[in-house]
Structure 1
Amino acid sequence: MTRTTPPDSPVHAVRAVRAVRLGPRSVVALALVSAVGVVFFGWPLLADSGSELTAHAGDAPWLFGALLPLLVAVVVATVADSGMDAKAVAMLGVLAAVGAALRPIGAGTAGLEPMFFLMVLSGRVLGPGFGFVLGAVTMFASALLTGGVGPWMPFQMLAMGWFTMGAGLLPGQDRIRGRLELAMLAAYGAVAAFAYGTIMNLYGWTIVPGMASGISFQEGAPLHENLVRFLAYCAATSLGWDLGRAVLTVVLTLTLGATLLRALRRATRRAAFEAPVTFEDPDRPPPGEAPHRPHVLH
């Protein structure tokens, strides 16, 4: 006897929550804040010898002053583009608090920082706009929690914002699920963990004096020579930390990622950030039409 599947069965429709989409205003706001960040991170490499611009430590207050209103602009633009309400901001606050609490767990231990795992998965579910704000706010909250407030803090906020935003920009939001998605997120987490460390090295490399001449920043030197010194600096000072961060992010993503992704998507759906996508079974009849019942053989 052939068993037929009822038309109301979940087999006929699979519901998935998409990450929050970027609208035109969100794109403009993110492009602006990213451009500001690139300038603040990268201009020492292009400054002439003797230029006052190479006093890199003195630009932190200016960057922090520019970053806060730009973060607000990203939130406002994303909310305006997608029609979200206060529940979205509340969810961001909860995730930022959890991320800030996770950071001290591995701080000072070979780069083992579990908050990066949470940022990858949250960025995937929330999308690039809110992912950027979540990363920056989480780093700000963790600095207050651990007493890590200093001239490096706005640079950490920008770097973590880019880290989380990148997860939201990964392809296949509506199609890639299961093990393939976890593998993609783990690979991104590994690469982005090294990228985060490299970006932060660019800040520290230009202001820390007394290093060996082969790896120290040389004001006014040709760009290619300073880049070689910078790569040597990264290998000598932070490679071990970046490796530990990458390995922990991969392990946590592959072992706990599926459970956390389901929880985040369920919370996002209940908060009504965006209507879920429904993948219809092509064999399911249109509404109001009697289902086709196959001939039953005994």
Structure 2
Amino acid sequence: MTHPDRQARAVRLGPRSLAALALVSAVGVAAVGWPFLVPPESQVAAHAKDAPWLFAGLLVLLVAVVAATIAESGLGPKAVAMLGVLAATGAALRPIGAGTAGIEPMFFLMVLSGRVLGPGFGYVLGSVTMFASALLTGGVGPWLPFQMLSMGWFTMGAGLLPGPDRLRGRAELALLACYGFLAAFAYGTVMNLAGWTFMDTNASTIAFDADAGVAANLARFVAYCLATSLGWDLGRALVTVVLTLVLGPAVLRALRRATRRAAFEAPVTFDAPAG
């Protein structure tokens, strides 16, 4: 018997989907963290100029494979329709703050959508939304696979937060606001790691140095974050918190009402014409 308060999920992750997510996450961690995971004398460090490009190419393929695997395992027509609406809304929200530090309203929508629709749907939504917004704004480049993966993680994480069926009201908003604040910084840190390795060592003293040790590169990376993105990440985190607290109740109600009406977990049937 289904519990009346049990929240429906647009996508139920099966073994294949979980295995694909684990694979792409492991490769993603290696793709952004390799400067701190390999010694200076390794072959990866010897190809420091090529490694970011190779990882970017590999990631875009793996992100596509994971999205296809999740879609094949449980993304029905109702969920596809919901995905299209939310991805289009998120892509349209992203350019609103273009050129203004930290005004990125799409992040709060990703948090709330992942919370209501679950981690599987959240991962696909985050990746597709970032891809669509890149096409809309002309932001296609070697950074896009990292953005898609990071936003997939960001949105999926909201679906993994505790109490999806019972926690409501101010306690839930506080949880989502805290998660949005921390995840906004985490997203910025991941993107800093991805972009940091593209810098020319000779052009800056805070760029990644393939000949330096982990401690020296960690100091360079911290300086890089402070110099290039701290203000932006803080602005993104604060905007996400404010929008979650102000608009969160209405958006959560709308998403949950749409989810109930869509009845994702009910099979779609077609009746034969009478006569």
Pair in the same fold by TM > 0.5:
yes
Matched, 1:255 2:246: yes
- Answer whether contact 1:135 1:163 (CA < 8 A) is retained: yes
Gaps of 5+ in 1: 1-12, 276-298
Partner residue of 2:40 out of 33, 48, 56: 48
- Answer whether contact 1:19 1:124 (CA < 8 A) is retained: no
- 1:97 counterpart residue number: 88
Partner residue of 2:20 out of 4, 26, 29: 29
- Answer whether contact 1:55 1:207 (CA < 8 A) is retained: no
Matched, 1:220 2:211: yes
Fraction of identical pairs, as percent: 66
Shift of 1:85: 2.1
**C-alpha distance in 2 between matches for 1:61 and 1:28:** 20
- 2:69 counterpart residue number: 73
**C-alpha distance in 1 between matches for 2:17 and 2:132:** 23
Shift of 1:63: 2.4
Shift of 1:211: 4.8
Partner residue of 1:237 out of 218, 223, 228: 228
Specify whether residues 212 and 47 from structure 1 end up closer, same or farther in structure 2 by C-alpha distance, changes over 3 A only. same
Partner residue of 2:160 out of 169, 172, 177: 169
Higher relative contact order (CA 8 A, sep 6+): 1
**C-alpha distance in 1 between matches for 2:116 and 2:215:** 39
Equivalence map 1:42-191=2 (5 Å): 42-45=33-36, 46=38, 48-49=40-41, 51-59=46-54, 60-77=56-73, 79=74, 85-191=76-182
- Answer whether contact 2:5 2:166 (CA < 8 A) is retained: no
**C-alpha distance in 2 between matches for 1:107 and 1:54:** 29
TM-score, normalised to structure 2, is 0.87
- 2:269 counterpart residue number: none
Gaps of 5+ in 2: 267-275
Shift of 1:200: 0.2
- Answer whether contact 2:8 2:264 (CA < 8 A) is retained: no
Q: Could you report, residue by residue, the CA deviation over 1:37-79 in whole angstroms, capped at 9, with x for unpaired residues?
A: 11222223325356125424422233222321222112223x0
The two structures, once aligned, show a CA RMSD in angstroms of 1.9
**C-alpha distance in 2 between matches for 1:130 and 1:253:** 20
| SS of residue paired to 1:97 | helix
- Answer whether contact 2:48 2:210 (CA < 8 A) is retained: no
Specify whether residues 26 and 58 from structure 1 end up closer, same or farther in structure 2 by C-alpha distance, changes over 3 A only. closer
Q: Could you report, residue by residue, the CA deviation over 1:178-230 in whole angstroms, capped at 9, with x for unpaired residues?
A: 110000000000000000000000011111125542x2211032222212221
- 2:7 counterpart residue number: 17
Considering only CA atoms, is the larger Rg found in Structure 1 or Structure 2? 1
- 1:283 counterpart residue number: none
- Answer whether contact 2:94 2:106 (CA < 8 A) is retained: yes
